[in-house]
């Protein structure tokens, strides 16, 4: 059975800290890995990763994929209170019609 | 706003009642997905449509659940004889054909069954 595991489940940091969120997966026919940010409503897309070792970056957020070790990390530097959210990792597999989501990491940034 | 919209945003119902939710996808998107998300969990796939055809249903979709997309545009998800375990956020997403990795999510309908 395809599985996506995120850690930690929750994290509390102070503004300005750097955080690393982890996502590991065990799937057949891996196609891509996606990161979403979910505040109180719809998940919003952050990154899609298909190749190992290539960092994707957007402002203070960056992510990288390791297809040999089957994991990805999402880094957030100089965290702000607006970064508080649930960060979801999802995997797209060939032959499936849906995305497989992990349980998410709840990040809380306190001033 | 040309994103995915869902209605209602919140629904409180008593156990045993039927409820229906609506999703309006991005207009040019052929694919429409329904997911369920319970507290502390990631979204779990329920079903998906390609145009008006319902092509896959997960085993989470019991026979009390039915979904339609009659004209290949908006979709409805009905839950009959609701149970407390149905309480969750129901998310709709849409994508272009061949781009299921780029799904745009709606704001969700939060259902509470008392």
Q: What is the pLDDT of residues A31-50, one digit of tens each?
A: 999 999 998 778 899 999 99
Q: Where are the alpha helices (DSSP H) in chain A?
A: none
Q: Is the pLDDT of residue A58 over 90?
A: yes
Dihedral Cα A43, A46, A50, A54, nearest 10 deg: -160
Dihedral Cα A57, A58, A59, A64, nearest 10 deg: -30
Q: Is the pLDDT of residue B98 over 80?
A: no
What pLDDT sits at residue A57?
94
In contact, A5 and A63? CB cutoff 8 Å: no
| B106/A102 CB distance under 8 A | no
Compute the count of residue pairs across chains A and B with CB atoms less than 8 Å apart: 58
B42, B46, B50: best mutation site toward chain A, by most A Cβ within 10 Å? B42
User: Which burial class, exposed, middle or buried, applies to A30 when counting CB atoms under 10 A from its CB (0-12, 13-18, 19+)?
Assistant: middle
What pLDDT sits at residue B101?
77
Q: Is the pLDDT of residue B68 over 60?
A: yes
Q: Which residue of A has its CA nearest to B5?
A: A42
What pLDDT sits at residue B1?
53
Does the beta carbon of A95 lie under 8 angstroms from any beta carbon of chain B?
Answer: no
Give the closest-approach CA distance of A86 to chain B in angstroms.
9
Secondary structure (3-state) at A27: coil
What pLDDT sits at residue A8?
96
Q: Which residue of A has its CA nearest to B101?
A: A92
Q: How confident is the model at residue B77 (pLDDT cuts 50, 70, 90)?
A: very high
| A103/B107 CB distance under 8 A | no
What pLDDT sits at residue B78?
97
Interface of A with B in 31-90 (CB under 8 A): 31-32, 34, 36, 41-45, 48, 88, 90
């Amino acid at each position: 059975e395809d599985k996506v595991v995120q850690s930690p489940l929750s994290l509390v940091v102070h503004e300005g800290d750097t955080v690393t969120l982890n996502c590991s997966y065990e799937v057949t026919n891996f196609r891509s890995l996606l990161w979403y940010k979910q505040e109180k409503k719809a998940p919003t897309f952050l990154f899609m990763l298909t190749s190992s070792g290539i960092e994707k970056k957007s402002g203070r957020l960056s992510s990288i994929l390791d297809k040999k070790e089957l994991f990805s990390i999402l880094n957030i530097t100089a965290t702000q209170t607006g970064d508080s959210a649930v960060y979801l990792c999802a995997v797209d597999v060939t032959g499936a019609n849906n995305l497989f989501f992990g349980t998410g990491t709840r990040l809380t940034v306190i001033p | 706003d040309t994103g995915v919209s869902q209605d209602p945003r919140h629904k409180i119902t008593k156990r045993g009642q039927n409820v229906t939710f609506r999703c309006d996808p991005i207009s040019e998107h052929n694919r429409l997905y329904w997911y369920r998300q319970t507290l502390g969990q990631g979204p779990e796939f329920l079903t998906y449509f390609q145009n008006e055809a319902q092509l896959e249903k997960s085993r989470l979709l019991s026979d009390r659940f039915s979904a339609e997309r009659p004209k290949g545009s908006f979709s409805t998800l009905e839950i009959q004889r609701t149970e407390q375990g149905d309480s969750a956020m129901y998310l709709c997403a849409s994508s272009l054909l061949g781009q299921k990795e780029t799904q745009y999510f709606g704001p969700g309908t939060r259902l509470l069954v008392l």
